Structure 1
Amino acid sequence: QITKDLKRTLPNHDRYKTDEAQSALGRVLRAYSLWHPTIGYCQGMNFVCAILLLIMAEEDAFWLLAAIVEDVLPGFYHPSLIGVNTDTHTLLDLVAIKLPDVWQSLQTLRLDRESLCSVFVSWFMCLFNQLPSESMLRAWDLLLFEGSKTLFRISLALLKLYSKQLSDLATAVEQGLIPHDTAGHEALKVMRGMPSNAIDSNELIMTAAGGLGSMPKTMLYKLRMHNSRRV
C-alpha cells in the first residue's frame, strides 16, 4: 500500500514530482511500519510524513511522525481507526454545543452523522493538509503544543467562519427552492472545500484559539467516552 500511495501524495508539489523525494517518503513510512508493526501503515500517514519531510531531515521526520501517531493522536492510525472515528463523532457533538446555528443548518439539510463524519475524517487523518500552507503549519503548531483538542478547535473555526453557504442552503430548502437531496449533496461539497478557503491564517487561528470558548478536559473526556461506545 505504501508504494501505491507514494505517487498520490502531494502530486502537485514540485518536490514530490521527483524520485528522490518519493524514495525518502517511502523509507520513512516503511521504517515506521517496521518500528511499530501493531499500527503499521495507514493512509493519511503519508500526507503527514510528506509535510514533515518538507521541513526536516528523514530521521527527525520519523521521530515526529512516531510522536504524532502514538502520543498526540493515539488510535487515529490504528487499523481499527477507533481514535479518529470517536473524535469525528465527538466533533459533531461539539458543533451542537458550540455552534448551534451551524447545527440547525445541518439538521435542516438532513445530513446524517456518517456523511458528516466522512468529511471530518478527511480533515483529521491528513491533519488539515487541505489548508493553505501557512494556515496548516500554524494549525500544526497548535496541535503539537495543545494536543488533539486542536483538531476540534480548527474544525469548529472552519465551520464558524465559512458557515454562510450552509445557512443559505438550509434557507433555500426551507423555502422549497432546492430539494433536500440536492442541498445535502452541495452542503457536503461545501464542507469538503472549507479548509482550502482558509487563506487568512490569522483569522483561522484567532477563531480557533479564542473564538469558541473553553473546552474543559472533563467535557471532552465524557463526550469521547460516549462516542467510543457508538463506534
Structure 2
Amino acid sequence: MPEENAFWTLVGIIEEYFEGYFTEEMIESQVDQLVFEELMRERFPKLVNHLDYLGVQVAWISGPWFLSIFINMIPWESVLRVWDVILFEGNRVMLFRTALALMELYGPAIVTTKDAGDAITLLQSLAGSTFDSSQLVLTACMGFLAVTEARLQELQEKHRPAVLEVIEERTRKGRVFKDSKGLASKLYSFKHDPEPLIEEKLHKAESEDTPVDADRSHSSNLEEFLAGDDSEVDSVPDLQEQVVWLKVELCTLLEEKRSAVLRAEELETALMELVKQDNRLQLSARVEQLEREVAELRQALADKREQEAQMIQVLMRVEQEQKLTEDARISAEHDLAAQKYAVHVLQ
C-alpha cells in the first residue's frame, strides 16, 4: 500500500474506531481505562488487589496497550491478528478482550511479584513474548464473550461523567493558577522595572481625564499600582493560605503514608509469625499422624507374623497327618502283598 493511502487508512481507523482517544484531553481514553479497571476487578479481583498492594494502577499497564493498539507491545503476528478482529467487528471490544486475555495468561506470574517495578517489567516482558497468536485470540474471543459492545457502552456512560468532572476541575484550577501567576509576574516586573507599568497607569489616567502628578515618588507609584489592582492583591493571601493548607495536608498525608507503611510491615511480620506458627502446628499434627500410622503398621505387622506362625503350625500338622497317611498306605500295601502271597501258596 502506498504511504499516502496507509496514512489516510490510519486516519480513518482513528476517527472511526477511536474517536476522542487522541484529543487534547483524551477523554475516551481515560473513560476506557476506568472501564477496563472495573472489568479487571470483576474478573480478576485477586490480581487487582495485589496490584493495589504494590501501588500499581491498572491504567499504567493498560494505557500503553490501548493507545498503541498493542503495536510494539506484543509480537507483530499477534498484533495483526488483533487488528483483523478489530477491523472485522468495527469496534473496540477486541481491545478489552485482548487485554483481559493477557491478564489471564500472565496474571498468576504477576501475583508472585513483590515490587511495583518488577510487576510492570515482568508483564511487559511476558506480553512481548506472546508468540502464540492463535491461543491469544482464542482466549480473548472465547474466554470473554460477556464483554460486548453493549456492556462497554453501559460502563462508558457510567464513568464518563466522572472523567468530565475531573477535567473541568483541572481546567478551573489551571485558570486560577494562571491568573495568580500573572499577578506575581506583575509584582516582580514592577519591583525590577517599574517604568512600563507606571507609564501604563499614567496612560490610563490620561485617557480617563484624571489629573496625575508625573513627579510622584517611586513608593507612591507602587502604592497606586497596588491600589489599582486591589481585586488581584486581595487574592494573594487566599492563595498563600491555600498553599499553607496544601503543605499541611501534604505533610499529613506523608505521615499517614509512613504510618500505613509501618503498619503494613508490622502486619506482614505478624502474618509471617502466624504462618510459621501455623506451619509448626501443621508439622506437629503431621508428625503425630505419621506416628499413629507407624504404630498401626507395626500392629498390623505383628498380626501378620502371628497369622504366619499359626499357618506354619497348621502346615506342620497337615504334613504330619500326610506322613501318617502315607505310612498307613505303605503298611496296607505290604499286608495286601502278604495276603496275595499266602493265597498263592495255598493254591
Pick the TM interval, shorter chain.
0.5 to 0.7
- Out of 31, 37, 46, the residue aligned to residue 92 of structure 1 is 37
- For structure 2, the residue ranges without an aligned partner over 5 or more in a row are 164-347
Residue 82 of structure 2 corresponds to 139
1:194 deviates by: 3.8
How does 1:31-180 map onto structure 2 within 5 Å?
56-111=1-56, 115-129=57-71, 130-146=73-89, 147-169=91-113, 178=114
The answer as to whether partners of 2:93 and 2:148 remain within 8 angstroms in 1 is no
The answer as to whether partners of 1:102 and 1:163 remain within 8 angstroms in 2 is yes
Structure 1 residues 125 and 168: CA distance shift in structure 2, 3 A: same
Larger Rg: 2
The answer as to whether partners of 2:51 and 2:58 remain within 8 angstroms in 1 is no
What letter is aligned with 2:19?
Answer: P
Residue 212 of structure 1 corresponds to 144
1:228 aligns with 2:160: yes
Q: Indicate the SS of the match to 1:163.
A: helix
Task: Please provide the CA RMSD for this pair.
Answer: 1.8
Deviates further, 133-142 or 207-216 = 207-216
Deviations 1:101-123 (A, max 9, x none): 42333244343xxx331322211
Structure (1/2) with the larger helix percentage: 2
In structure 2, distance between residues paired with 1:66 and 1:216: 25
TM-score, normalised via structure 2 length: 0.44
- RCO higher in 1 or 2 (8 Å CA, sep ≥ 6)? 1
What letter is aligned with 1:139?
Answer: V
Q: Indicate the SS of the match to 1:215.
A: coil
1:124 deviates by: 1.2
What letter is aligned with 2:157?
Answer: M
- Out of 168, 171, 185, the residue aligned to residue 117 of structure 2 is 185
> Identity rate of aligned residues, in percent?
29
1:161 deviates by: 0.5
TM-score, normalised via structure 1 length: 0.64
The answer as to whether partners of 1:132 and 1:199 remain within 8 angstroms in 2 is yes
What letter is aligned with 2:49?
Answer: Q
Deviations 1:97-147 (A, max 9, x none): 223342333244343xxx331322211111101211110100111111222
In structure 2, distance between residues paired with 1:63 and 1:202: 29
- For structure 1, the residue ranges without an aligned partner over 5 or more in a row are 1-55, 170-177
1:227 deviates by: 2.1
Structure 1 residues 215 and 116: CA distance shift in structure 2, 3 A: closer
1:189 deviates by: 2.1
Structure 1 residues 103 and 118: CA distance shift in structure 2, 3 A: closer
Structure 1 residues 142 and 119: CA distance shift in structure 2, 3 A: same
What letter is aligned with 2:7?
Answer: F
Deviations 1:136-164 (A, max 9, x none): 10011111122211110110011100112
What letter is aligned with 2:132?
Answer: D
The answer as to whether partners of 1:102 and 1:160 remain within 8 angstroms in 2 is no
Give the number of aligned pairs: 161
